[in-house]
């Protein structure tokens, strides 16, 4: 595959979420970095590159130069627990006249938004990959929650993508500037936009993030208006929209699966189901970025190992007393720190168990 050819070659018409339009790999997010990774593969002449658009149960909708196809992974990938996610670039073998595909491998990801899979088992769940920007969407009704935004920001900072906070449903809020100011106090250096997607107000300012080949993932709880925002950006009713409950402002799940959507003007959206509770995975740097104010204050504590509890000359406790940071923000910081350590311990125990299992097999074979 030649990079110059990729940018200029004619492609068959793909009917995806557009009207009839030609589409090539660059529209899908292909670039020189992915090209370099693909060129390192042996026998690549027999394969096509494709991007995962939708993930069903064991079946994947793929966007390729040849059009839209359905694919499944090889038995080897399944055995090695190697499953693609929406946004992945995969190596595929097109079959049945280009209508079906067998996925043989996944190209290294440039970014990924991960969380700990729900349930008692400690396991990474990649929500979306190869994203450039993460829209953290929250609503300005009674479901507004600063602590939840902190959690999303913490995970987003470790994804490799750039976080952006979207404050939706401005038409339902009488204290917009107060709410925006509160978010500014916890989202240092992060762009914040106030919109009313249902009224199509303020949405145009978001279009700067949708450039050719650029991917934006939408994250947020149910009922914050992600589907309405997508419809507004598309200029048509594509996504089903549910009403929220009037008593608490919370919504039901509208989106039931992750899906990659292409905009007519260029750019890609990855829609995701609402996540009210999102558990941490690997956020060693994310906590430092999200709570840089607290960690900077901690450098002035008298003791290097200060836990900011009852130690004398604690700069963090002094800042709380003086109102520089709130008790709620500090408690959120400590909670996420404890959760991170808990996940690390569980992962370490799991790795040790796997290592013991492996050596039990080896020793059993030698005896």
Residues of each annotated binding site for GTP: 168-171, 220-228
DSSP state of 245: P
Strand pairing category for 162-168 and 112-116: unpaired
Q: Which residues pair with 196 in a beta bridge?
A: 201
| Structure-block tokens of residue 210 | 């949708």
CA distances from residue 284 to 156, 189, 290, 320 in whole angstroms, order as listed: 12, 19, 11, 24
SS3 breakdown of the chain: % helix, strand, coil, rounded to 5?
Answer: 35, 20, 45
Residues of the binding site for Zn(2+): 301, 306, 308, 314
Strands (E), the chain: 48-55, 60-64, 67-73, 89-95, 100-106, 112-116, 124-129, 133-139, 162-168, 192-194, 215-219, 259-262, 268-271
Residues of the binding site: 168-171, 220-228, 301, 306, 308, 314
CA distances from residue 201 to 229, 261, 272 in whole angstroms, order as listed: 10, 21, 22
Note whether 251 and 234 are within 8 A (CB): no
């Amino acid at each position: 595959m030649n990079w110059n050819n990729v940018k200029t070659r004619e492609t068959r018409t793909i009917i995806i979420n557009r009207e009839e339009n030609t589409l090539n790999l660059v529209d899908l997010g292909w670039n020189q970095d992915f090209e370099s990774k693909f060129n390192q593969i042996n026998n690549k002449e027999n394969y096509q590159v494709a991007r995962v658009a939708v993930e069903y149960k064991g079946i994947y909708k793929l966007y390729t130069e040849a059009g839209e196809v359905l694919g499944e992974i090889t038995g080897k990938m399944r055995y090695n627990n190697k499953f693609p996610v929406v946004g992945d670039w995969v190596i595929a073998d097109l079959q049945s006249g280009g209508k079906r595909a067998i996925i043989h491998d996944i190209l290294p990801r440039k970014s990924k938004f991960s969380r700990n899979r729900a349930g008692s088992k400690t396991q990474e769940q990649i929500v979306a990959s190869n994203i450039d920007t993460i829209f953290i969407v929250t609503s300005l009704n009674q479901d507004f929650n600063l602590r939840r935004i902190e959690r999303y920001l913490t995970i987003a900072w470790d994804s490799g993508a750039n976080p952006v906070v979207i404050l939706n449903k401005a038409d339902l809020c009488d204290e917009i500037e107060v709410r925006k100011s509160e978010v500014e106090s916890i989202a240092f250096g992060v762009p914040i936009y106030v919109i009313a997607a249902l009224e199509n107000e303020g949405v145009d300012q978001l279009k700067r993030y949708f450039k050719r080949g650029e991917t934006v993932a939408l994250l947020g709880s149910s009922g914050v208006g992600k589907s309405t925002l997508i419809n507004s950006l598309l200029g048509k009713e594509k996504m089903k929209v549910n009403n929220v409950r009037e008593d608490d402002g919370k919504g039901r799940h509208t989106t039931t699966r992750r899906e990659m959507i292409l905009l007519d003007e260029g750019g890609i959206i990855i829609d995701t189901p609402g996540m009210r509770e999102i558990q941490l995975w690997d956020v060693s740097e994310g906590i430092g970025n999200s709570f840089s104010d607290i960690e900077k204050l901690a450098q002035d504590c008298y003791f290097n190992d200060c836990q900011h509890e009852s130690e004398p000359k604690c700069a963090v406790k002094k800042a709380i007393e003086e109102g520089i940071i709130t008790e709620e923000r500090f408690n959120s910081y400590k909670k996420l720190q404890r959760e991170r350590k808990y996940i690390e311990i569980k992962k370490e125990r799991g790795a040790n168990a796997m290592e013991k299992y492996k050596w039990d097999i080896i020793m059993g074979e030698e005896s």
